[in-house]
Amino acid sequence: MRPLLHPWPFGEYSRGLARHTLMQERKREMANTLKELSASLRDAVKKAAAYTVGIQHEPYAVSGVLIGGDRVLTAAHLVEEKETVLLPDGSKVEATVGAVDPINDLALLRLQGSHKLPAPATSRVEVGDLVLSLKRDPFDGINASLAMVSASGASLKLGRTSVLERYFQVDAERLPGTTGGPVVDADGALAGILVFNRRMGAEVALPADLALARARLLEEKGSVRRPYIGVRSQEVDLPKAAKDALKSSQETGLLLVSVEKGSAAAAAGLEVGDILVTFAGTPVPDHEALVATLALKGAGARVDAVAARGGALRTVTVEIGGR
């Protein structure tokens, strides 16, 4: 006689059915969340596309940001004196470089003709925020890439001559042609402009408020001069008397081996043989530290410098020049 099969206990069946139902609900919730995120990002791209332009620059593709009127901001290191700009409506307009800020890698372009284009809304982003970088391509229009803000801060040194007052980094691979273009938040507001090249695997962006402030300065002054005081120097150990007078742990300074005639350094009374110890209240143990401080203060600033001469410290006031 065939044994009776024991039916699955009703309680186990009910719990299994409940788990299956819960999993299905979670899948639907996740699908809905992804759809909502996709729709939000799609709307952000559409809003940002209204102020993203392409610059037909050979051999590299470049993008830019409309900041109102006939003005376009982009990366200075990739543009020429005259460029062709591809506008959001598909038209092409000739533009000329009105002014350049080499420290922040910004160029202000002016569109030819009568243009009263709107300025974008701006926002600030923080580490962990999702952002989009955009470019406008002459063949397939707007391209977008999703990224996360991976770092932000102040006084970022890039190379030997550029120091950003503020910056943020994004962790995505840069699309070819996004240099000079916008980084936007989840609402499509302008959060920053991609400048320079990659830094330690990340992309560097200038925050929107800082970029627009520099644009206003470029309009007012026509250009931003690179700060210059007219010295050549080499790193040397500080004399014991100077170290004792400083009462700090600084071990080295900058021996001035050349002071240009008529320069800001000469006007301040600095001489060949002086050892520059601090500049604008900041220790300058090497040339890079001096360059960084000059970049942060900018041409035209009046600062105090401390130099060792004959073992004694003396303070002079330097009005930073530019060129």
Task: Give per-residue burial for 93-124: e unless 16+ CB within 10 Å, then b.
Answer: bebebbbbbbbbbbbbbebeeebebeebebbe
What local confidence, expressed as pLDDT, does residue 248 receive? Answer: 82
**Does a structural domain hold residue 14?**
no
State the Cα–Cα distance between residues 103 and 91, nearest whole angstrom: 31
| CATH assignment at residue 263 | 2.30.42.10
Same domain assignment for residues 198 and 237: no
Task: Indicate whether 217 and 245 sit together in one domain.
Answer: no
Q: How many folded domains does the chain comprise?
A: 2
Instruction: Looking at the structure, tell me whether residues 234 and 212 fall in a common domain.
Output: no
| pLDDT of amino acid 128 | 93
One digit per residue, the tens of pLDDT, for the chain of length 323 reads: 555 555 556 566 667 667 767 777 777 777 777 888 888 999 999 999 999 999 987 777 799 999 998 999 999 888 888 999 999 999 999 999 989 888 788 999 999 987 788 889 999 999 999 999 999 988 888 999 999 999 887 666 665 556 666 889 888 777 788 889 999 999 999 999 998 765 555 688 999 998 998 898 888 877 777 788 999 999 999 988 888 888 888 899 999 999 999 999 999 999 999 999 999 999 999 887 887 788 778 788 899 999 999 878 999 999 998 77
20: in domain: no
- Answer yes or no: do 133 and 186 share one domain: yes
Domain that holds residue 143: 45-222
Same domain, 150 and 93: yes
Residues recorded for the chain? 323
pLDDT of residue 10: 56
> Which of 186, 203, 222 is a domain's end point?
222
Q: Cα–Cα distance between 273 and 269 in angstroms, integer?
A: 12
d(CA 3, CA 10): 20
- Are residues 199 and 292 located together in one domain of the fold? no
Asked, for residue 162, whether it belongs to a domain, the answer is yes
- Calculate the dihedral angle through the C-alpha atoms of 255, 256, 258, 261, rounding to the nearest 10 degrees: 180
Q: Residue with structure tokens 């006689």? A: 1
Residue type, 159: G
In a domain, 39, yes or no: no
pLDDT in tens, 32-91: 778 888 889 999 999 999 999 999 877 777 999 999 989 999 998 888 889 999 999 999
